[in-house]
Amino acid sequence: MRTIEQIFTEKAHQGIDCQFFLAELLGEYSWELYTEKGCITFETESKKITSSVQYLFTYSNVSNTLKWAWNNKKKFWLKKNRFDQYNLIAINKIKKLVEKEGNSEFTMPSFAIDSMFISDFNHYDYAYFCSCIIGKPFFICTYSDGELFVILEDEQFVPKVGIDAKNIIKRFQNFVKTTVLLEQRNVFINYIHHHGLEFEEVENDIIIDDIRVFFDENGFYKNSSLTK
């Protein structure tokens, strides 16, 4: 059995670029979610982008409770709308993957984030986890007392492969600061492979394009510096 943190570590390299790419693509924007159509529209100064969505979960700011989208029998967000099963494909895929490992988070319809029986994840960690499994960015739709988390499904939101070493390091640094991530050194190596760059291993550290990235003996990221 793998914990949800271990699964996250294994899949993390697939999602590190997602939120950076989304921010670069949209810039300043306004948005409108159409639950009856299962899509969202972003409007910037120069363009209008529409994407179908995959629903992940809602989070209540009042009760600190997460509720999975697959548990949609009670029409849990908008009372007059039930999420179409097509828009639940991603969360059901993730649920099936995690259930095989015996993790309870995805089999419970809802739970309090600070429950002693649940992992150390907060609601943002669950969103990053889902994004890494699917390989597409998540977006947060805010409402009066909570948030709805969705995956942006269209291919235009899939990050491009092939960024340089400096951006790899910069994005990795930010990612490890904002997520619960184990075995960070292995994640970094997988991330470099993902972008097709070569690297050298020196003791605990990784050298990529004349930049040495330092890790401690437990594989946790420390810092980086130029080698020349």
Condensed to tens digits (0 to 9), the pLDDT of residues 192-215 reads: 999 999 999 999 999 999 999 999
Whole-number pLDDT of residue 133: 93
3-state secondary structure labels for all residues of the chain: CCCHHHHHHHHHHHCCCHHHHHHHHHCCCEEEEECCCCEEEEECCCCEEEEEEEEEEEEECCCCEEEECCCCCCCCCCCCCCCCHHHHHHHHHHHHHHHCCCCCCCCCCEEECCCCCCCCCCHHHHHHHHHHHHCCCEEEEEECCEEEEEEECCHHHCCCCCCCHHHHHHHHHHHHHHCCCCCHHHHHHHHHHHCCCCCEEECCEEEECCEEEEECCCCCEEEEEECC
Region 8-15: mean pLDDT is 90
Region 171-180: mean pLDDT is 89
pTM exceeds cut of 0.85: yes
Condensed to tens digits (0 to 9), the pLDDT of residues 38-58 reads: 899 999 888 899 999 999 999
Condensed to tens digits (0 to 9), the pLDDT of residues 76-118 reads: 444 455 566 788 889 999 999 888 887 777 788 888 887 655 6
Domain layout of the chain by residue ranges:
4-157, 165-226
Whole-number pLDDT of residue 75: 45
